[in-house]
Structure 1
Amino acid sequence: MAHCVAYANFAHMAYTSLRAFVDALEQAGELVRIKEFVDPVLEIAEVTDRISKAGNRNKALLFENTGTGFPLLINSMGSDKRMCMALGVNHLDEVMNDIDALLKKMSTPKNGLLDKLAMLPQLGKFASYMPHVVSGRGACQEVVMTTPDLSKLPVLKCWPEDGGPFITLPAIHTKEPATGMRNIGMYRMQVFDDTMTGMHWHRHKVSARHYNEYKKLGKRMPVAVALGGDPVYTYAATAPLPENVDEYMLAGFLRKKKVSLVRCITQPEIEVPADADIIIEGYVDPNEELIWEGPFGDHTGYYSLPDWYPRFHVTAITHRKDAIYPATIVGIPPQEDAWIGKATERIFLTPIKMTMVPEIADMNMPVEGVFHNLVIATINKEYPGQGQKVMNAMWGAGQMMFNKILVLADGEAATGVRIDDYARLAKEVFDNLDPATDVYFSQGPMDVLDHSCSKMGFGGKMCIDGTRKTEEEMNTPAAAYKMPGSFSAAMLKTKYGEITSISDRLMREWGIPVLFVAMAKDRPGHVADLHSRLCTEPGMEGLKMILYVEHTVDTADIADVLWRFCNNLDPRRDHMYGGPVRNILGLDGTRKTKKYDSFDRPWPNIIVADDVTIKTIDNKWSSLGLGELLISPSLRYKTQLYRGGATVLDEEK
């Protein structure tokens, strides 16, 4: 996936409202207005899911008839082009280059007076991006609901097993009570009634720490939620910034214009963007009983499990006269969040390079890895063990601590291979890989949405060091490795009845010694047993890795295999070695159950639309102005669901 595609005339555009961004999208041919009524309950999500996966028909959608007084914008940043438009750049690497230039100027030794004076304009320019509070009311407070009522907003219920409707694109404002340090984060909010939602902040999030401080003080915690305004505000709320960096400083830097803030009406301790579209003010009482929130169809493509979270009580809702309600859906990739992740990948590459991993050349998060699950990094290697140094540094770097699979390769300068040329890069990695000694397993903090961990938020990690090895690192001479001999994938499928699908496409087409196997487990230890038997088959000696996935997966679909595999694997728990010298690595990416795997947590379902919604949108499609009918992406997964809805207890299997 390219990250340097250039688009014209978007540079340094600060939008004065979400409607201004809508106008820009429409002028660029990137928006479709839908005048037909489409229900925010399930229907809008189904239309958006089809469009987001539709290639060159992928557009932002403005639903003008939502059954409320507010139109709804969705998928507005759901492509490389629209993400660039949102950030006001011609290509995403522009932001990286701006940050790179700034940090280099600030970090270069400056001994002379002239050198120091030369820095002042640059620092002054950066200071001009700091947010400032203005007096009076902002455009976001043009209309004040006399009685706040969340049912007046077109809040989406995206998927049939969701716990309820969720606000999906909120910029949530909190402050540390002692220092007043502001934090803006994005955490989903399940609506329970007209004036109460859940507040889904995980324990490692900054807002959760603020919550704990208010709990110690025995005080109510003021909170405000901003929706809309410049799309940069939305992006900044998702950015993995250090705790002491104001998200609106990043927003000002990106839009090349400071953010003007106004005080909330009922929660005056909190300031919000004056030009936002909608503001929801309220509080969280840390002494109040938590509420059972979820499940929720999440960005992993699976439902996240329900849990206990704080209650948010609404004290006011204000909005612009012409407000637009922004939303997003998350589910089976690709979705809009993939492009937001790509922006983060580019923007934060330079800070990672300059502060923690100076040898890193580039970084890439494939869409199938849904952010944390799979990260590729290329490095400029100079000494033995450098791969392990990078591994440890990256796993200790902010949200990279949640990374599950890290793949390291040499930089483009050494290999001539771009990091997003996945086939050629994989060939380079496996040419340099001894599976027995160059794959490292660890454990540590994991995303709480990772359902494959035996314990919530704590699980295994794996680093595949595919860099070229120095003499000191060589355990097996490269010449000792040969490509697998002649074996028949079809013959293996016939011989082993538990194999439902098998693919040696990577080997045949690109010379990558990896096999994909889909299998139906029927006993404990089945995957390890099959791996042991496969590794002794004639012609398999040069194989380096076998990935095992659920029996329902079509192994010919590489993207689907990787998405399912990355979600369902705990590398430390689910790896095994086979072969005459135990050098063929097997990785178990199948669903885990109590019966066959001693797995005690519930296992979530893949996210799909229900039959009624699919049929409703099929019948309504011709009136939506979206061209020829697009078939629901859910249909390919409908037969792969486990009994019991969003989650299923292992006793059932």
Structure 2
Amino acid sequence: MAYKHLKHFIDTLEKAGELVRIKTYVDPKLEIAEITDRVSKSPNGGKALLFENTGTDFPVLINSMGSYRRMCLALGVQELDDISREIEDLFKMLSKPKEGILDKLAMLPKLGQFASWMPKVVGGKGACQEVVMADPDLSRLPVLQCWPKDGGPFITLPVIHTKDPNTGTRNVGMYRMQVFEKGMTGMHWHKHKVSAKHFQEYKKLKKRMPVAVVLGGDPVYTYSATAPLPENVDEYMLAGFLRKQKVELVKCISQPELEVPADADFVIEGYVDPEEELIWEGPFGDHTGYYSLADWYPRFHVTAITHRKDAVYPSTIVGIPPQEDAWIGKATERIFLAPIKMTLVPEIMDMEMPVEGVFHNLVITQIKKDYAGQAQKVMNAMWGAGQMMFNKILAVTDEGSGIHDYKKLAQYMFRNLNPATDIYLSQGPMDVLDHSCSKMGFGGKMCIDGTHKYEEELENGGLILPSPKLNTTEIRQRFPEIKGINDSLLKDDIPCLLISVEKARPFHIKELNEQLYTLPEMLGVKMVLYVEHTVDVSDLPSALWRFCNNLDPRRDSFVVRPPLPGQPGKTGAGIGMDGTLKTRLLDNFERDWPNIIVADDETIRKVDEKWASLNIGPFIASPSHKYKHQMYGEEAVVPQ
């Protein structure tokens, strides 16, 4: 389904009972984000919110794709898997041998469909250019500041257009933009991104780089800008396929080398000068749930701002999951399953990115296993594929278990797991937002092979361990640095512990892990996950989120091989993994360590007082209350 404009999508959400209009004045500085954080963490993602009184000429739409249903509405489907099946059918049709003239003629209608999806540049001005600001001024837009330690207000849903200066190939991506003055922002493109490559090409040519930023229009534009497409695939071809109608583009008025969707709500035109000094951008409360650290990025200079007469400013917030971006990630997980299966990993059956893993940190893959070593083959293929190169923890299972029932999945994988032989540690490129890496953008990776094993993969015929029976009270008395033990998984036949520890010396976790595994009752425990003493290990989703963020698998994993009593020469196997915060003093960690993201007390108070006038529904307390005690002081980074 093609939406004519963002208001068409808003009307659709409202008719579906998925939108709340808020007429009370709400400040774009911190208050909108605090309200949205409460709503987005409600069951099923709450509702989309339209803030109609922002102190500017424009309303703010937020959380519009913040549930499974709204994500489907945005892409015009009943189920996200419908898109994957359609892509798979297309691949099969295109790759099928064409033996005769009838087979070839049967292709013509589909080829016509392909043509109808291709973007088209049209003449004249678009609706996105109905109003041209005489004096381009970003302060006239309701740009949000989401979190108290953010470097300032950020444009969080910018659809950014650049072109390769040598080939003219367009790229459409999404990179946050910190607003510094009315006509200048930062441009936070990471070195792995295509627009950053375009920037380097302009730098070689010593030419200014034209950039156009689109906000609004059909929500499929926003999604397509986030999609992990190959460099040579136009994002607007994907958008055309998803909406079943080509995207009509018009030339920018001050940067005519670039074209933008005619039905967008806002277009911010400008340039980046590769010869200009970079600007210190950030920090920013990011999708990891932590502040991403400030760094040097290019300056974007605004040359024009145009918009529709009835423009709506779309925005989002990111922070401690779940947030709206979890559902955008879910769409990518489902949509791109078919291309991965058809072109890269034919044995793949299903894929899951748990919310607690914040996209790259944790990916679960189910394969059809036919031979020894197949999980490792899949590991290498996936770590070499596009944005999957940023994956930190890859868990591989097979057809013996589904991947959406986490309890059954864990039971199956742990039954098949030898921690000493079935966990593979490597290193490679990482998301620059991953703060656990000793070096920015480069760190450890781990693959957990929980598939059934062929004889060639077994060590000494297989590892058989007793069922663990722990006395957690005695363990805590013996090791006073342990502040909490969650052994609930043991009761579900999942031999894994979560332990919170107050570290006090270098190599503390490694030594503690070795000491714990000297206890006879620990023999049946295959894995111990360590987190900071401030973390509530009884809250499993929250503890796993903290653990995944703070772990560098290669640096922070410790395998032990305790002797098996009564079995001379045989050893058990266990692995401990250190998901605590790292410091220079205790861990020889030389980078700054960011803080988790919480709202400030004054903003929470203001929203509490304003809640009844918002007409959103029953009062929702701030999610930040849960995490306040887990902060390290009031700064965005931990002093080293």
Tell me the TM-score normalised to structure 1 length.
0.96
Matched letter for residue 496 of structure 2: V
Partner of 2:50: 62
Please show how residues 324-473 of structure 1 align to structure 2 within 5 Å. 324-411=312-399, 415=400, 417-473=401-457
CA–CA separation in structure 1 for the residues paired with 2:84 and 2:139: 41
CA–CA separation in structure 2 for the residues paired with 1:159 and 1:57: 20
Please show how residues 156-305 of structure 1 align to structure 2 within 5 Å. 156-305=144-293
- Per-residue Cα deviation, 1:578-603 (whole angstroms, up to 9, x for no partner): 23336110000000000000000000
- Offset of 1:644 from its aligned partner? 5.5
CA–CA separation in structure 2 for the residues paired with 1:490 and 1:16: 63
Partner of 1:511: 493
- Offset of 1:426 from its aligned partner? 0.8
1:191 and 1:352, CA in 2 relative to 1: closer, same or farther beyond 3 A? same
Matched letter for residue 639 of structure 1: H
CA–CA separation in structure 2 for the residues paired with 1:352 and 1:585: 31
**Counterpart contact for 2:44–2:68, Cα < 8 Å:** no
CA–CA separation in structure 1 for the residues paired with 2:115 and 2:442: 40
1:78 to 66, 85, 108: 66
3-state SS, counterpart of residue 257 of structure 2: coil
- Offset of 1:120 from its aligned partner? 2.1
Matched letter for residue 501 of structure 1: G
Q: CA RMSD in A?
A: 1.0
3-state SS, counterpart of residue 269 of structure 1: coil
1:520 corresponds to 2:502: yes
Segments of structure 1 that go 5 or more residues without pairing to the other structure are 1-12
- Offset of 1:115 from its aligned partner? 1.8
3-state SS, counterpart of residue 49 of structure 1: helix
1:534 corresponds to 2:522: no
**Counterpart contact for 2:45–2:66, Cα < 8 Å:** no
- Offset of 1:113 from its aligned partner? 2.7
3-state SS, counterpart of residue 590 of structure 1: coil
1:487 corresponds to 2:447: no
Partner of 1:4: none
1:88 corresponds to 2:76: yes
CA–CA separation in structure 1 for the residues paired with 2:31 and 2:107: 54
Please show how residues 305-316 of structure 1 align to structure 2 within 5 Å. 305-316=293-304
- Per-residue Cα deviation, 1:169-204 (whole angstroms, up to 9, x for no partner): 000000001111000000000000000000000011
- Offset of 1:645 from its aligned partner? 0.8
- Offset of 1:478 from its aligned partner? 4.1
- Offset of 1:212 from its aligned partner? 0.6
Partner of 2:567: none
Partner of 1:499: 482
- Per-residue Cα deviation, 1:89-124 (whole angstroms, up to 9, x for no partner): 001001001100001111122232322222222122
**Counterpart contact for 2:418–2:463, Cα < 8 Å:** no
Partner of 2:111: 123
**Counterpart contact for 1:140–1:318, Cα < 8 Å:** yes
**Counterpart contact for 1:434–1:476, Cα < 8 Å:** no
1:565 to 541, 544, 547: 547
Please show how residues 599-610 of structure 1 align to structure 2 within 5 Å. 599-610=589-600
Partner of 1:633: 623
**Counterpart contact for 1:42–1:160, Cα < 8 Å:** yes
Tell me the TM-score normalised to structure 2 length.
0.98
Matched letter for residue 531 of structure 1: N
Partner of 1:9: none
CA–CA separation in structure 2 for the residues paired with 1:558 and 1:437: 26
Partner of 2:10: 22
1:596 to 586, 597, 606: 586
Q: How many residues end up aligned between the 2 structures?
A: 632
**Counterpart contact for 2:75–2:220, Cα < 8 Å:** yes
**Counterpart contact for 2:45–2:324, Cα < 8 Å:** no
CA–CA separation in structure 2 for the residues paired with 1:395 and 1:57: 31
CA–CA separation in structure 2 for the residues paired with 1:480 and 1:164: 56
CA–CA separation in structure 2 for the residues paired with 1:526 and 1:271: 57
CA–CA separation in structure 2 for the residues paired with 1:228 and 1:172: 12
1:647 corresponds to 2:631: no
- Per-residue Cα deviation, 1:283-337 (whole angstroms, up to 9, x for no partner): 1111000000000000000000110000000001000010000000000000000
Matched letter for residue 331 of structure 2: A
Deviates more, 1:398-407 or 1:571-580: 571-580
